[in-house]
Amino acid sequence: MTSQTINVVGAGIFGLWQAYRLASDGFQVRLYEKSATPFADSSSRLAGAMLAPFCEAEASEQHLLPHALQSVELWRASPFALLENGTLIVAPPRDGAELTAFEKRTQGHQRVGQKDIEQLEPDLGDRFSQGLYYNQEAHLAPRPVMEDMLDHIVNLGGQVFLGHEGERPACDYEIDTRGMGAKQDLSQLRPVRGEMAVVEAKELHFSRPIRLLHPRHPCYIVPWPNSQYMIGATVIESDDEGPVSVRSGLELLGSAFTVHPGFGEAKILELSAGIRPSFPDNIPKIIIEGRSIVVNGAYRHGFLLAPLLAAEVSSYIRRGNKQGAFFQ
C-alpha cells in the first residue's frame, strides 16, 4: 500500500469509482459526502445506468465510442453486478424512419423482426414488427450497485464520511467530483435536468432496457429488481430542481404505455427530477490544478464512463502522465 492519501469529495458514481479504484490500487482513501444519507443529493441515484456505448453514440461524439467500450470492460472486470442482456430498440410502424435513422447513426446492432422481438421479450408479443438489438450492451440497478461500491471501498480500507461539509484534513491529492456543487469553480458547467419515474409492474417481465423511438416523446424503460422499472427520457436545459412537471410525467408514462399497455396497471413508486452536470460539449473532463483534480461533466454518461475516468486519474497519480481521453 502506498503512503499517499487521497481525499475524494462527492459520492455520486464518479466519486465512488474514483474512491474504489484508488483504494484498489493501494492508496489511502477518504471519501467525503455532504448528505447524511448516502446518495440522497446525488443525481446518480436517478440514472438509468445503461451501459450502452453503441446506443449513446447516436447522440454523442463518435470518438467517445472506443473509450466507452473500454469503460464497459472495466465494469465487467469489477465485482459489481451487471445484467448483460443487451438493449432493444423499437418503434411503431409509423415511426419507421426514426428506426432507420438510428440504425444508420450507430454500430453494434442487428435488425430484428417481430418473431425475434417476441423471442427476446415475450411480453411484447406482436406489438412491434421491427427493431434493433444491441447484444453487447448491459445495464445495472444503480442504487444497489452504489451501495455495494460503498461497502467495497470500506472493505478495501477506505474511510467514508457522510454528512460532511467542513474542512478536510491535508492530503496528497484531492479529487473533486461534486457535480453541480462545483459550479462556482467551473464557469462552463451547466445544468441539464432529467426526469424519471419508477413503477412497479408485477405482471410484466422484461429482461433488458427497451428504448422507444418517437419524434417527440422517446423513452427508455430499464428493468430494476423486484418487478420495478425505471422510465426516463427527458433532457431539459434548465437548473430547476423542482418536482416533475405534469406534462413530463404524462409523457413518460404515456410512452411506457405505448411500449406495453400493462404499464397502465403499474403502481407509481416515484417521480423524481435531478440536475446533471454538463460541459458545453457534453463530454466529461479531468482538470488538473496542482494537487487538486476535478472530475466532472457527467451529462448522461456518468455510469458509462466513470470506470475509465477513475483509471485515468489513478494512472496520473501513480505515473504523473496525462495519457487519457478526458484530460483537459
CA distance 191 to 176: 17
For residue 292, the model assigns a pLDDT of 96
pLDDT at residue 328 greater than cutoff 90: no
Report pLDDT for 225. 95
**Which of these, 300, 318, 280, 70, lies nearest to 187 by C-alpha position?**
280
**Half-sphere exposure of residue 13: CA atoms within 13 angstroms, side-chain side:** 31
Cell of 146: 452504489
pLDDT at residue number 143: 95
- Residue 1 pLDDT exceeds 70: no
Residue 278 predicted with pLDDT over 80: yes
Mean pLDDT of the region 107-128: 96
Compute the average pLDDT of residues 68-84: 97
Model confidence pTM above 0.75: yes
- Give the confidence band of 61 by pLDDT, cuts at 50, 70, 90: confident
What's the chain's average pLDDT?
Answer: 94
> What is the average pLDDT across 142-149?
96
* Distance (Å) of CA 90 to CA 44, 49, 201, 242: 26, 19, 20, 31
Query: What average pLDDT score do residues 156-171 get?
Result: 95
pLDDT tens, position by position, 288-316? 999 999 999 999 999 999 999 999 999 99
- Single-letter amino acid, residue 328: Q
pLDDT (average), residues 28-56: 93
Distance in angstroms (rounded) separating the CA atoms of residues 136 and 311: 22
Cβ(140)–Cβ(51) under 8 Å?
Answer: yes
DSSP states along 29-83? EEEEESSSSTTTT-GGGG---EE-HHHHGGGS-GGGHHHHHHHHHHHHHSSS--B
What does DSSP say about strands 28-33 and 159-162: parallel, antiparallel, or unpaired? parallel
User: Using 50, 70 and 90 to split pLDDT, how confident is the model at 234?
Assistant: low
Q: Report pLDDT for 216.
A: 87
Closest CA to 91 of 274, 215, 179: 215
Q: What is the dihedral of CA 235, 236, 242, 248, to 10 degrees?
A: -70
- What DSSP designation does 107 have? -
CB under 8 Å to 101, separation ≥6 — which residues? none
pLDDT at 199: 98
Q: What beta strand segments (E) does the chain contain? A: 5-9, 28-33, 50-51, 87-90, 110-113, 130-134, 138-139, 159-162, 173-176, 190-200, 210-212, 219-224, 228-232, 267-278, 285-289, 292-296
